[in-house]
Structure 1
Amino acid sequence: MTKLSVNINKVATIRNARGGNNPDVLKVAVDCELFGAQGITVHPRPDERHIRYMDVRSIKPLVKTELNIEGNPIDKYIELVLEVCPTQVTLVPDTDDQLTSNHGWDTVANRAFLTDVIGRFKEAGIRTSIFVDPSCKMVEGAKECGTDRIELYTEPYAAGYPRNREEAIKPFVEAAKVAKELGLGLNAGHDLSLENLTYFHRNIPWLDEVSIGHALICDALYMGLGNTIQAYLACLKD
Structure 2
Amino acid sequence: MSLANAQGSSTTVTKTPPAPQAAASQPAPQGALRPSIGQDAIPAEDAAPVEEIVPPKMDEGASWQVAVEASKGPTPLIGQQQADAVDKINAYFNGVTSLEGNFQQTDSSNKRSNGRFYVLRPGKIRFDYAPPNPLRIIADGHSLAIEDKSLKTVEKYPIKSTPFRLLLAKNVDLGRDAKIVGVERDNNVLAITLEDRKGTAGHIKLSFDSGSQLELREWTITDAQGLTTRVTVDNLVRGRKKSSRFFKSDDVPSSPFQGMGG
TM-score using structure 1 length: 0.26
Higher relative contact order (CA 8 A, sep 6+): 1
TM-score using structure 2 length: 0.24
Which has more radius of gyration?
Answer: 2
Higher share in helix:
1
Higher share in strand:
2
